[in-house]
Amino acid sequence: MPDGVIAGFLAPHAPHFLYGENPPQNEARSRGGWEVIRWAYEAARADLERLRPDVLVVHSPHWITPVGHHVLAVPHLRGKSVDPIFPNLFRYHYDITVDAQLAEAIVEEAGAHGLLARAMRNPAFRVDYGTIVTLHMLRPDWDLPVVGLSSHSWPYWDGPTPDEEIREVDVLGKATRAAIERLGRRAVVLASNSLSHRHFSEEPDPPDDMSQEHHYNDLGYRWDVRMIELLRAGRTREVFELMPEFTREALPETKSGSVTWMFSAMDYPEVPGKLYGYGAAIGTGNAVMGFDLTDSIVAGR
Ligand code: 2X7
Ligand code: FE2
């Protein structure tokens, strides 16, 4: 089997999905919920297993670093992560093994590609829920080493501008790929992103009352379906051409760059994406999709 970047997954991280799973690591308990997405993740997990990667590399919008790109580079991270907006749903005890050698190589390559990048070597660092939910939903056994990348953005400053952000994550994707190839890793890259991102500001009581869960508006839903159909057809170039309009109209979480980074790390393949499922989380649009560069997960698009 070849080395390098072998696949990517669009793997959204609403804390609701993990809350619905009731894993022992999470303090909050639910009656389930968000099954369509949780079943989608079940199928994606089986495909991830077939790919036999030796590392998972994830880019998260909820580790925000205004100054440069940061990369988790502590070999072992343990602690408790709490979602700042939904602490009632997500209080998670994590125990994460990091491929620190790959993390350092990504930082080096990012620097060589002209980006400002830093290795995060603080063992007391608290890992964000975006990184954790995506990794947990795809690999709940946590038996593979991982690398986490931050999102270099800051909503309150003039820079980076949206165009600069896109350029930065495109270059970061190339640097990630170069590091993976240099070390001969078999890596799967994960975009921790939902799609349309307007969400309700009040939760139902109880939060897992599924009669209250639906898309925030029709505009967001229709944009998501349009983007998903293009991704399913492998029409990647059109997806990126539409990205600015999508960003303006649907306020998608892809704005923080995870999807662009992932496609750049995969070298923008025009492969058909496999849709595992699509559904709402407090109004946002969430698709779980796989992009296989090896042909080991085909079928069932
Ligand atoms: O971070 C999130 C998200 N992306 C979607 C929905 C709800 C909460 O948190
Ligand atoms: Fe999010």
What ranges do the domains of the chain cover?
4-298
Give the Cα separation of 230 and 22 in Å (integer).
34
- pLDDT of residue 158 exceeding 80, the answer is no
Q: Please report the atom of ligand 1 found closest to the CA of residue 281.
A: 6
Q: Is the CB of 199 under 6 A from ligand 1?
A: yes
Q: Is the CB of 11 under 6 A from ligand 1?
A: no
User: What angle is formed at CA 214 by the lines to CA 212 and CA 216, rounded to 5 degrees?
Assistant: 115
DSSP assignment of 154-175 equals -TTSS-S-HHHHHHHHHHHHHH
DSSP assignment of 15-30 equals HHHHHHH--TTBS---
The pLDDT tens digits of the residues spanning 165-207 come to 888 999 999 999 999 999 999 999 999 999 999 999 999 999 9
**Residues in Cβ contact with 158 at an 8 Å cutoff, skipping those fewer than 6 apart:** none
Q: Which ligand is nearest to the CA of 258?
A: 2
Measured by CA distance, the residue closest to atom 3 of ligand 1 is 14
Q: Please report the atom of ligand 1 found closest to the CA of residue 86.
A: 8
Q: Other CB atoms closer than 10 Å to residue 59's CB: what's the count?
A: 31
pLDDT level of residue 33 (50, 70, 90 thresholds): very high
Beta strand extents in 36-144 (DSSP E only) = 55-64, 69-72, 76-82, 91-97, 117-120
Q: Is the CB of 254 under 6 A from ligand 1?
A: no
pTM of the model: 0.96
Q: Does domain 4-298 have CATH number 2.60.40.3680?
A: no
Measured by CA distance, the residue closest to atom 7 of ligand 1 is 14
Q: Is the CB of 256 under 6 A from ligand 1?
A: no
Q: Is the CB of 251 under 6 A from ligand 1?
A: no
- pLDDT of residue 298 exceeding 90, the answer is no
Q: Please report the atom of ligand 1 found closest to the CA of residue 130.
A: 1
pLDDT at residue number 301 = 45
User: What's the 199 CA to ligand 1 centre distance in angstroms?
Assistant: 8
User: What's the 37 CA to ligand 2 centre distance in angstroms?
Assistant: 15
Q: Other CB atoms closer than 10 Å to residue 124's CB: what's the count?
A: 8
User: What's the 192 CA to ligand 2 centre distance in angstroms?
Assistant: 8
User: What's the 286 CA to ligand 1 centre distance in angstroms?
Assistant: 9
Q: In percent, how much of the chain has pLDDT > 90?
A: 90
For residue 177, which of 262, 120, 111 has the smallest C-alpha distance? 262
pLDDT level of residue 164 (50, 70, 90 thresholds): confident
Measured by CA distance, the residue closest to atom 9 of ligand 1 is 14
Beta strand extents in the chain (DSSP E only) = 4-10, 55-64, 69-72, 76-82, 91-97, 117-120, 146-151, 186-191, 274-281, 284-292
What does the DSSP 8-state code read for residue 124? T
Query: Does 206 sit behind a cis peptide bond, omega within 30 degrees of 0 on the bond before it?
Result: yes
Residue 42 vs residues 46, 78, 249: alpha-carbon distances, Å: 7, 25, 31
In the predicted model, what is the mean pLDDT of residues 271-291? 98
Best mutation site among 214, 282, 286 for ligand 1, i.e. most ligand atoms within 8 A of its Cβ?
A: 282
In the predicted model, what is the mean pLDDT of residues 226-253? 95
Q: Is the CB of 253 under 6 A from ligand 1?
A: yes
Q: Are strands 55-64 and 146-151 parallel, antiparallel or unpaired?
A: parallel
The pLDDT tens digits of the residues spanning 46-105 come to 999 999 999 999 999 999 999 999 999 999 999 999 999 999 999 999 999 999 999 999
